[in-house]
Amino acid sequence: MDYTDLYLWRNKANLLQREGMNTPQQKMGDPIPSSTLNLKGVARSIDQFVGGTLSSQEYTEKLEALEQRVSGFDEKIVNLIQLMKLSQKLTEEKNAELRQENQELRERMERQEHAINQVLHELTVLNNTMSSSLKEAIERVQSSTETQISTHVERALEKVAFLTQELDVVRTGATSLEERLDEVSNAQSKSLETWTVELDTIKAWAKRNFQRLKQHMDQICSETSVIKGEHEELSARIQEVSCKADIECKRLQLILRQKSNEAEALESLVNKELRNVRIVARKHEILRSSDLTPVPRESIKKATLCEELKFPNRIEASDKP
């Protein structure tokens, strides 16, 4: 129901009340004059006019509200059209950029393919040249090494010949010296018997010392060779033992990890079993002390929790072996 309908309904109700109040006066008194009837008609027409103006005002307000909505809807449509144009423009720009990027990528791929083909061609050329150059270098090195070896052999042979000549000279000198010594010894045997005896003793001492020194040097050389061999064997054994020790250490670490994991699992199981045993013991104690009265489970759980909170060290002591 609109405001105008309410207004007209109220006016009709007021008019009916007025007519109902005026009817007994007409019966009892004089007849109603024409001026009062005219006033009533004028009042009714005024009420109708006011109701019509109010309804028209509401209608105009509704029209204005609709016009505002239509204008807002038009603005929204314009904004949507602008957004569509902007989105089309952006998509066109993006497509253009993508086309340009695709073109650049194609050009790059072509350049890279050209560069790769050129590098492959250069590699084949280098391979061919390197193979031929390597063969030539090997032949040169072989010829140079052969010449060097031959020169070294010739030099060694020359040195050997020179050394043999020097040894012959030394031997001849030694023989000559021995002859001269014999002559001198024979000439001065009488006057220098004591001197010759001392010389003989000195020679024997020198020979003995020389032989001892030679034996000692030979023994030292053999001992050094033995020590070197033992050192090499010892280093190899040490390396082998270190490798075995590393492997054994890793194996022991793995075993320790497994055992620790098993111990943790066993500890958790033992803790669970101990808790269950304590719960059962507590239930038995409660059942004994309660004179066969049923105890709720919540009180049993609370009691076990209180015991665990009061005596946590018992569980740890029982878990330890």
Q: Is residue 206 part of a domain?
A: no
CA distance 318 to 321: 7
Domain span at residue 61 reads 3-26+37-110
Burial-class residue 319 by CB neighbours within 10 Å (0-12, 13-18, 19+). middle
Q: Is residue 225 part of a domain?
A: no
Q: Is residue 51 part of a domain?
A: yes
Q: How confident is the model at residue 28 (pLDDT cuts 50, 70, 90)?
A: very low
Give the tens place of pLDDT for each residue, 88-147: 888 888 888 888 888 888 888 888 888 888 888 887 777 777 667 666 776 777 777 777
Q: Is residue 256 part of a domain?
A: no
What average pLDDT is seen over the chain?
73
Q: For the chain, what's the residue count?
A: 321
Neighbours of 243 (CB within 10 A): 10
Backbone phi and psi for residue 311, each to the nearest 5 degrees, phi listed first: -120, 70
**Lowest mean pLDDT: which of 97-111, 162-176, 245-259?**
162-176
The structure tokens listed for 61 are: 């307000």
Q: Is residue 309 part of a domain?
A: yes
Contact 317, 274 (CB under 8 A): no
Backbone phi and psi for residue 129, each to the nearest 5 degrees, phi listed first: -65, -40
Angle between helices 193-289 and 297-310 (to 10 degrees): 150
Q: Is residue 56 part of a domain?
A: yes
CA angle 303, 309, 312 (to 5 degrees): 120
In the prediction, which pLDDT does 175 show? Answer: 79
Q: Is residue 230 part of a domain?
A: no
Backbone phi and psi for residue 296, each to the nearest 5 degrees, phi listed first: -65, 155
Arithmetic mean of pLDDT, 268-292: 84
CA distance 16 to 166: 171
The tally of domains found in the chain comes to 2
Is the entire prediction scored with pTM above 0.85?
no
Arithmetic mean of pLDDT, 8-21: 54
In the prediction, which pLDDT does 130 show? Answer: 65
In the prediction, which pLDDT does 96 show? Answer: 83
CA 147 vs. chain centroid, Å, equals: 60
CA distance 186 to 54: 178
Above 70 in pLDDT, residue 308? Answer: no
CA distance 93 to 130: 54
Please name the amino acid found at residue 213. L
The structure tokens listed for 156 are: 């060694």
Of residues 184 and 246, more confidence is placed in: 246
CA dihedral angle for residue 52, residue 58, residue 62, residue 65, rounded to 10 degrees: 140
In the prediction, which pLDDT does 284 show? Answer: 84
Residues 6+ apart with CB under 8 A from 295: 283, 286, 287
Above 80 in pLDDT, residue 291? Answer: no
Q: Is residue 115 part of a domain?
A: no
Q: How confident is the model at residue 318 (pLDDT cuts 50, 70, 90)?
A: very low
In the prediction, which pLDDT does 157 show? Answer: 79
Question: End of a domain among 64, 95, 110?
Answer: 110
